[in-house]
A and B are shown apart, each in its own frame.
Chain A
Amino acid sequence: MLEAVIWLLGYQLAGEFIVRCFGWPLPGAVVGMLLLLLTLLARRSVPEGLQHSVPTLLGHLSLLFIPAGVGVLAWWPQLLDAGWRLALVLLLSTLLPLLGTAYLLRALLARKEAAR
């Protein structure tokens, strides 16, 4: 656990540092994730500390979303104000990429398998 925390915080901090150095409009954690992926690919294995703790951490990802969801309460007046229009935009803009990605990927995979 301790090792995993040190790995993850270390890579996030490195990411934050790089993002600030170059003024990129990216969260530092994303760059940290890329750096860690590159590191794992280079050493061709996952350090034991990470291997044990990461599945547990990601298994409880839902917990970390709850405070942000509760934050919706603070926006209640504005959200009610936009009402059904906002609800419709949210529904459509979730369904469109979901179905668009699915149909395109199915067509591409079918073409690839037919070519084989």
Chain B
Amino acid sequence: MSASVLDALSAVSRGPLFGLFLTLLAYRVALWLNRRCHGHPLSNPVLVGCVLVGAVLLAGGVRVDTYMEGGRLLMLLLGPATVALAVPLYHQFARLRRSAVALTLALLAGSLIGIASSVLLGRLFGLSETLVLSLVPRSVTTPIAMGVAEAIGGDPTLAAAFVIVSGILGAVLVRPLFTRLGLMDERVLGFATGVAAHGIGTARVFQISQGAGAFAALAMGLNGLMTALIAPLLLRLLTRFWH
């Protein structure tokens, strides 16, 4: 009897429904916890959700590959979610055009600094080539980062992992840092966070103000596009310069 119960459990945990259910449940608990902690940076739903799912997998001895059967279904939705960013971009289009020149220059600088600092610091500290190439698209939203990593020879899942770590770092640090440095203008705060810490940073900035959130969403979308366009070119240049 007990053996057949265990068999049944392991059979159920092998299907895609298990990973899907576990992620939804962990996310629900993470949202609840975030509300209970009044949105404290460290109670970030992505961070808490990952820790909860990871804890269940480790406790149950479930392999990450097995979990990904279901996880992949949710990752598939990042594509349509990227397309959906066109809607907030459309709503902010007039505001974007008003500061178009300043925003374009800041975006270009932020994007270049992001890519160049990953490559140069990565090599300076002697990280492996796969690690460096997967770090390059680190500050853009996951679907774009995975596509770029694949295009330049990095590892898409590793790149996605760095995106998450970067996003959480940005989301946790931005408010204390910008308050201390006197950078709390909502356009500056929002746009810089969107450039450096994509969706997770954007979600955080929306809690500070709607205006800052709009600028973050804008910057996130534009930096995704910019990185996808310039990363392969810049990488070729930097490689030539380095060797």
Contacts and interface: CB of A to CB of B under 8 A. Distances in A.
Interface of A: 4-5, 8-9, 11-12, 15, 25-30, 32-34, 36-37, 40-41, 46, 50-51, 54, 57-58, 60-75, 78-79, 82, 85-86, 88-106, 108-109, 112
Given A27-B144, A101-B219, 10 more contacts: A30-B147, A34-B86, A58-B88, A64-B77, A68-B75, A68-B163, A89-B122, A101-B106, A104-B110, A105-B106
Secondary structure type dominating chain B contacts:
helix
A65 B64 contact: no
Interface of B: 19, 23-24, 26-27, 30, 45-47, 49-50, 53-54, 57, 64-65, 67-68, 71-72, 74-75, 77-91, 93, 99, 101-103, 105-107, 109-111, 113-114, 117-118, 121-122, 125-128, 131, 135, 138-139, 142-144, 146-148, 151-152, 157-158, 160-167, 169-170, 173-174, 177-178, 181, 183, 185, 187-189, 191-193, 195-197, 199-200, 203, 219, 221, 224-225, 228-229, 232
A33 B146 CA distance: 16
Contacts of A65: 46, 142, 163-164, 167, 199-200
B50 A25 contact: no
A101 B195 contact: yes
A64 B87 contact: no
Contacts, number: 296
Secondary structure type dominating chain A contacts:
helix
B194 to A, nearest CB: 9
A11 B90 CA distance: 15
Contact of B80 (A8, A103, A105): A8
Given A26-B228, A70-B57, A73-B54, A102 B192 contact: yes
Contacts of B49: 62-63, 66, 69
A58 B85 contact: yes
